[in-house]
Amino acid sequence: MAGRKTGEILLKAHNVVKKFGGLTAVKEVSLDVRAGEIVGLIGPNGAGKTTFFNCLNAIAVPTSGEITFAGHSLVSQISPATSRLVFRSGLLFALLSLLWLPLVLGVVWPETFFRLEAVLALSILALFRIYLLRPLSLFRPWSRLLLIIFVLVDGICAVNWLWRSPEFSEVSFFNLFPFYPLLVPGSLLLLLASLVLLLLFNLPRVKEAFGQHLRADVITRLGIGRTFQNIRLFSSLSALDNVKLGRHCRTRANFFGIVLALPQARKEELDSAEKAAECLRFVGLGKQLVSRAGSLPYGDQRRLEIARALATEPKLLLLDEPAAGMNPTESAELITLVRRISQAGIAVLIIEHDMKVIMNLADRIYVLDHGELIASGTPVEVRSNAKVIEAYLGAQHAASEA
Amino acid sequence: MMIVAGFFLTSFFLVSVVIAETIKIPVASPFTGPLASFGEGVKNGALLKAEEINAGGGINGKQIEIVLGDELCDPKEAAAVATRFASDPKVAIVVGHLCSSATLAALPIYKEAGLPAITPASTNPEIGKSSPYYFRNVYKDDFQGDFLARYAKKVRNFKKIAIFYEVNDYAMGLKDAFVSQAKKVGLRIIGAESYMSETIDFNAQLTKFKMMRPDAIFIPGYAPQATLLISQARSLGMKCAFFGADGLDDAIMLKNPDADGLFVTTPFLVDRGGAMVKEFVGRYQRKFSIEPNWFAANTYDAVGLAVAAITAAGLDREKVRAYLAGISSEEKAFQGITGATYFDENGDCLKAAFVKVVKDGKWVSAEEQLQ
Amino acid sequence: MLAAILDQSSLFLQQLVNGITLGSIYALIAVGYTMVYGVIQLINFAHGEIYMMGAFLSFSLLSGFFGFGLPFGLAVAVSVLVCALAGILLDVVAYRPLRRAPRLAALITAIGMSIFLQNLALLIWGGQIQSFPQNAIPALLSEPALQLGDVVISWLQVVILSTAIFLMLALHLIVHYTRIGRAMRAISQDKTAASLMGVNVDRVVSYTFAIGSGLGGVAGILVGLYYNAVYPTMGYFAGIKAFAAAVLGGIGSIPGAILGGGILGLAEVFGGGYISSSYSNGIAYAVMILVILVKPTGLFGRHLRDKA
Amino acid sequence: MHLDDRLFTDKKLYLPLLAAVLVLPWLPMGIAGPYVLRVATLTLVYMVLALGLNVVPGFTGLLDLGYVGFFGLGAYTAGLLTVHYQWSLWLVLPLAALNGAFWGILRGAPTLRLSDDYFAIVTFGFSELIILVIRNELWLTRGPMGVPGIAQPDIFGKVLDQPWQAFYLILFFLFLVLWVVVKIRSSRLGRAWFAVREDEIAAECVGVNVASYKIIAFALSAAIGALAGAFYARWFRFIHPDMFKFWESILILCLIVFGGMGSITGALLGALILIPLTELLRIVLPAELSNARYLLFGLIIVFMMRWRPAGLLPVEKE
């Protein structure tokens, strides 16, 4: 199978693990795809192939392992649950700080803001902020400092409030409080300091600490396109619109450009219509531009999905069982289509059950079983691998009994 | 598309179909919806007055016709109803809008159309100031609040008062006036709590008041909530007195055995008023088999005012306004069942207030009135 | 000094009593939301209206609104039964045809039904607050059951709490130890699998609606008696608060609904009593939003369905 | 081609419409004139609102039950700025829209990951909180006293005090909003929204940043609502918390459910039929039944969902 030219390594997955609760769906799978190559990924049902695909384009976040694509690391080094928690906390935290500003203004000009509700709001906010800072303080000492500052500011403001509200004016403790003159400027100063700290330290440091987690749409822009096992088209849109959506990540017209009908935005729209039509012709759907995606025949929907993925101008195309449910003629067409894609310089990683298709197409094949990589190599090597035969026969055996 | 437009246009011509030989006096108020019970009094008062006028030969031989405009106390609806009245040239004066919010929404429309209006119930102080075309024959909030504070101190000799007010313009105006007068006469306000019109559970705040042991609780607000409030206070074992302003003057108070002893301000007293009042109450009870409340009495007088204005000035809006504005001193006052009504430069009315008490399921006038 | 402390502590105790009463009512309504959500993943907005109907029906039967009066016990039983039937009817007429439609469609329908029922009540009974006729209610209910200094507990509060506890226990037994309860739990786990196993899904959903609506009706009657006030919009506010309680406890979880109802009732009473009453509705909204944003599964809830 | 795409391109479609609307204030309507014009103006306001709401549930498929919050926010922003500073409409309006967009984003940001029914509940709670704050914070909004005496709209220093002028003004804003939503619908942005509505995961896989596009939708929708609110305040000259009850959210939702969710012409048609219908019913129905109008709206929602879930003018042709 040395007929095709292959380039440098495009995608490299190393020891990828994905766990769902107690279940390990993918166990330390390593795999690489070179530019221009067609690589097959096979295995019995439930072997974790689709989960692995999902890990590759960040639909699922791997529990551990490294994935690099064209020089970019796609997975951050800290557990995704933690980084998500911290990110959310940070976001909510920033929001709360915004809400908190008016309350502090209320301290400075008490007659302008709220009655005793403010004390309630303030204490809820304070508790909430402490709760949110908890995950942050797990990581860096400076966030503990932030926590202390915020608690101080909240406390001072609350005391301020209690002191100022008429309902409590007869209570002697607050009248005796000796530092009252320092309270207002002090709390304002602390607030400013805490805001500065929040801005200076929070976002960049958090990012630095957790590494970049790339979202699916960013990965698509980097050049991984994919199709799905159970077709996921935008079924109420036309075929053309579906493919135009594929162009989305290669266009950049913004709200104002569109609304003001700027020439650049209009040109881009025409461009993407043209490119989309081209993609549709490429997969052989040139005549079905305006039909609703959901009303196309099954085989056409599969091809439409491929066209949509192609429109994103991928360097690597992930095909998840593209021949499922196809008759032999359609499968044969599919094989030619994938060949043509490969000839266009796009690497293809393909999951397929149809052995005829996969043996015909793939330069190399990886075999997964129960989440583990059990074999890899050229189709000929894989076909004669004992483990593979066992995995498949076992599966067939089980299937025939059920 | 065109069909829809046609349908929509023709439908509006229906509005102006009825042009009979009668003089129309529109009355706008909520007649259905959650506040329908307030509008009931307005409707009855207006119909009763119209019936009397028509029985006496109408205005210069022409019968009058009450046109009811149901606005659900909703500002949006009120504006639509007001536009309908304002665009009818046969309308020379409007009686109406019960809620201040509805009145304020309708106000710019009447002002623009030069259409005078009398509200029998809206107490918001903004109304008089905002338009020369708006008159009212109801107290302003500040007058009643002021009055109640003096009455509570001087006649009842209360010392500690708690206030439970509804969050609306009427009640808050009352509360503020009450509080500022209370300070002057030396009443102690030991606490103020608020509720919304949809509140039915007052237990939490009442419990708080209970521990403060007030002599009385002032309820600026409306009867439906106040009756619940009083019952809940009694079942918590509170024995203090309750009082309120004309908002509590409603027949449902009489059905509540817990409300015994509640006193309220009122513009008219049945048992002390003149023959006119007795006659009004008698006729009202015969016709609607219910006691008239202040909405009914005020509307009755407002329609009376409107009729007097049309009789004197005809159907010219500007003249009607001038006539009403001319009722500016006690000598020129309009004599109605709610006493002598005359307007100040803002169109706000000045008249005397009385106190009545619930006793054994009946309103009776308080033994001591504030002189 | 001592007197002040005594005052404060009896204030606290009284508020506690008020809060628990309110909480048990919320819990009764919240169970209706949570059961329906657990079984068909629908927020039944019209549930508050069923509760309102319970109050209105018992009011009408007691006061002779329909032209005849019934004795207290019978009136309550009939109202609860009618509420349960109304729940089934609601499901059959409005929701069942949309079982396969997008979730949004069912949700919008639920809102439509809520508006419809509320205005229907407005049309039939009028908008004003109605009170139960005093002579139709057992006199005992308004007597204080226990008076400890300034703390008063009325028989009605005792009845409300004990009814709530009794019904919750009954519900627990039904859900865990009867055929229909097992079927409910099976459907809430996996509808298709349950129907493959021979569970008649439509019938079980009907039962769910019947039980939830019946409990809502009971809550309506209790609230009507407690505050002696019945009016068409009562379902709207109570519904929102009960829904917040259900969310707080974890929607789909019955013990969660009970706990959520209790917490919300106490929060509202203490918030209203000690802080300010203008925002007492706001407490429910804020709790609801915060819980959904921070911990959408609530206190006891299961994990949400995966979006994918 | 769908009606929505032809709105600004098909002369046969838009010229008669435009003519009909422009001529409306000058039709001989006798004494009913001002009233008809008022209803027509109100209808146009609701058309703007329906277009704005349509962006979220229609385009991105998330049910927004709290649209009235932004309507109220815009009205109060404009009303208070006008009353306190006597600023021109053309200054107040963009500020109100910006304020609306700001709160739209603030509300949207934490709700990005929520599933449909939870999102609906949060939007509902959020708008109720906005209205509760408006009702309770007297120092700012005067609460239940309402804000009276708001100046009428103006242009180049001239006050627009005739009913027909207000009508043309809101017509202008309607066209503005219509232009924006029609342009966006057929653009990259609109397609991204549709993709999010249909399938979020597939949308991510074609490179749509789901979060940021949702945020744009929230901001746009809220800004349009606030814009309508700002006009409403200046036109009504009085605002009150009661004008922004939960019911209004349902009414606006009903307009787009009736016309067809996601369909621009549908939203317009929904407002065009239902808003005058409420007025018509007020006149036709006997006084005791005037509440039955609301009942009718409940029924409309239920029936539409049951038998014509895609509305009168569905987005997609079968």
pLDDT digits (tens, 9 = 90+) for C149-189: 778 888 888 999 999 999 999 998 988 898 888 888 888 88
pLDDT band, very low/low/confident/very high, at B101 (cuts 50, 70, 90): confident
Q: Return mean pLDDT, chain C.
A: 85
pLDDT tens column, A296-305: 888 889 999 9
Which residue in D has a C-alpha nearest to residue A99's C-alpha?
A: D106
Give the mutation candidate from C294, C295, C303, C306 for the A interface (greatest A CB count, under 10 A).
Answer: C294
pLDDT tens, B133-187? Answer: 999 888 877 888 889 999 998 888 899 999 999 888 888 888 988 999 999 998 8
Residue type (1 letter), A214? L
**Surface of D (55-114) touching A: CB under 8 A:** 106, 109-110
Does position D238 have pLDDT exceeding 80, yes or no?
yes
| Sheet with strand B117-119: strands edge to edge | B64-70, B23-29, B94-96, B117-119, B134-136
pLDDT band at residue D96, thresholds of 50, 70 and 90? very high
- Which of A59, A92, A117 has the CB atom closest to C279's CB atom? A117
What fold does the segment set B141-266 form as a domain? Rossmann fold (3.40.50)
Asked if residue A104 lies in contact with residue A191, where contact means CB atoms within 8 angstroms, the answer is yes
What are C9-52's pLDDT values in tens digits?
777 888 888 899 999 999 999 988 888 888 888 889 899 999 99
Q: How confident is the model at residue C272 (pLDDT cuts 50, 70, 90)?
A: confident
Residues of C in contact with D115 (CB under 8 A): 304-305, 307
Does the pLDDT at position C79 exceed 90?
Answer: yes
Where chain A has pLDDT below 70, the residues are 1-6, 76-123, 129-147, 154, 156-188, 190-191, 193-213, 393-402
Q: Which residues of C touch D305 (CB under 8 A)?
A: 98, 101, 105-106, 108-109, 112
Determine the pLDDT at residue C308: 31
Would you state the pLDDT for residue C83? 95
Question: Can you give the pTM of this predicted structure?
Answer: 0.87
Task: Check if B227 contacts C (Cβ < 8 Å).
Answer: yes
pLDDT of residue A133: 64
Put simply, whether D10 touches C (Cβ < 8 Å) is: no
Instruction: Report the amino acid identity of residue A354.
Output: D
Q: Six-digit token pair at C59?
A: 């009011």
Interface size, chain A vs chain D, as Cβ–Cβ contacts under 8 Å: 114
pLDDT confidence of residue A111: 52
Q: pLDDT tens for residues B194-246? A: 888 888 888 888 888 888 889 999 999 888 889 899 988 988 888 899 999 88
Write down the residue that tokens 């209610």 correspond to: C137
pLDDT of residue B18: 44
> Residue C273 and residue B208: Cβ atoms within 8 Å?
yes
- What DSSP character marks residue C303? P
B188-195 vs B160-166, strand pairing mode = parallel
Q: Where are the beta strands (DSSP E) in A263-355?
A: 316-320, 347-351
| Partner A, chain C 270-299, Cβ-Cβ below 8 Å | 271, 275-276, 278-279, 286, 290, 293-294
Q: Which of D116, D121, D123 to mutate to test the interface with C (most CBs of C within 10 A)?
A: D121
SS3 letters for B54-106? HHCCCECCECEEEEEEECCCCHHHHHHHHHHHHCCCCCCCEEECCCHHHHHHH
Q: How far is B195 from chain C (nearest CA, A)?
A: 6
Q: Which of A171, A209, A231 is nearest to A87 (CA)?
A: A209
Percentage of residues of chain D with pLDDT beyond 70: 97
Q: Is B73 in Cβ contact with D32 (below 8 Å)?
A: no
User: Per-residue confidence at D103, pLDDT binned at 50, 70, 90?
Assistant: very high
E strand segments, A188-233: 224-226
Q: What type of residue sits at position A381?
A: E
Judge whether residue B370 has pLDDT over 90. Answer: no
Average pLDDT over residues D22-29: 78
Q: Are strands A224-226 and A316-320 parallel, antiparallel or unpaired?
A: parallel
Q: Which tops the pLDDT comparison, C191 or B149? A: B149
Q: Does D316 touch chain A (CB under 8 A)?
A: yes
Quote the DSSP letter at residue D110.
Answer: G
CA nearest to D287 within chain B: B70
CA distance B360 to chain C (A): 15
Interchain CB contact of B185 with C (< 8 Å): no
The lowest-confidence range among B147-151, D27-31, D104-108 is D27-31
What is the structure's pLDDT at D222?
Answer: 96
Shortest alpha-carbon distance between residue B4 and chain C (Å): 25
Neighboring chain A residues of C286 at a CB cutoff of 8 Å = 124
Mean local confidence (pLDDT), C240-250:
88
CB count, 10 Å around CB of C187? 22
Chains that touch B (3 or more CB pairs under 8 A): C, D
Q: What is the CA radius of gyration of chain D?
A: 19
Tell me what pLDDT residue A401 has: 45
C-alpha D232/C-alpha A309 separation (Å) is 47
CA nearest A202: which of A283, A104, A96? A96
When the candidates are 3.20.10.10, 3.40.50.2300, 1.20.272.10, 3.30.70.20, the CATH number that belongs to B22-139+277-350 is 3.40.50.2300
Q: Is the CATH number 1.10.3470 carried by domain C14-294?
A: yes
Q: Which residues of D touch A221 (CB under 8 A)?
A: 207
Contact D188 A217 (CB under 8 A): no
- Residue B266 binned pLDDT confidence (cut-offs 50, 70, 90): confident
Q: What is the pLDDT of residue A213?
A: 64
Domains B22-139+277-350 and B141-266 in one fold: yes
pLDDT at A2: 41
The verdict on a CB contact (< 8 Å) between D187 and A269 is: yes
Tell me how far CA of residue C171 lies from CA of C41, C80, C208, C210, C215, in angstroms. Answer: 19, 15, 11, 12, 10
Q: How far is B164 from chain D (nearest CA, A)?
A: 15
**Measured between CB atoms, does D29 come within 8 Å of chain B?**
yes
Contact B32, D290 (CB under 8 A): yes
How many Å apart are CA D258 and CA A353, to the nearest integer? 47
Task: List the one residue out of B87, B94, B102 whose CA is nearest residue B170.
Answer: B102
What's the whole-number average pLDDT of chain B? 84
Nearest CB among A217, A232, A255 relative to D207 is that of A217
Chain B CB contacts of D146 under 8 Å are 75, 100-101, 104, 124, 169
Calculate the average pLDDT of chain D: 88
Which residues, listed in sequence order, are joined to residue B59 by a DSSP beta bridge?
A: B62
Does the CB of B79 have a partner CB in chain D at under 8 Å? yes
Q: What is the pLDDT of residues B272-302, one digit of tens each?
A: 767 888 888 889 989 988 888 888 888 999 9
D250 touches chain C (CB under 8 A): yes
D109's CB contacts (< 8 A; 6+ apart) are: A91, A95, D215
Shortest alpha-carbon distance between residue B356 and chain C (Å)? 24
Q: Where are the domains of chain C?
A: 14-294
- Residues in D closer than 8 angstroms to A236, CB to CB, are 194, 198, 315-316
Taking only residues 140 to 199 of chain D, the set having a beta carbon closer than 8 angstroms to any beta carbon of chain C reads none
Q: Cβ–Cβ of D121/C114 closer than 8 Å?
A: no
Q: Which residues of A touch C8 (CB under 8 A)?
A: none
**Cα C219 from Cα C224, distance rounded (Å):** 8
Superfamily of the domain at A9-78+224-401: P-loop containing nucleotide triphosphate hydrolases (3.40.50.300)
pLDDT of residue B331 exceeding 90, the answer is no
- pLDDT value at B19 more than 50: no
| Mean pLDDT, residues B36-61 taken together | 87
β-strands B94-96, B23-29 pairing = parallel
Angle, vertex CA C85, rays to CA C79 and CA C90, nearest 5:
120
A40: nearest Cα among A338, A326, A302: A338
Which chains, if any, share at least 3 CB pairs under 8 A with chain A? C, D
Higher pLDDT among residues A179 and B106, named by residue: B106
CB contacts of B203 in chain C (<8 Å) are 18, 22, 269
Beta bridge partners of B26: B67
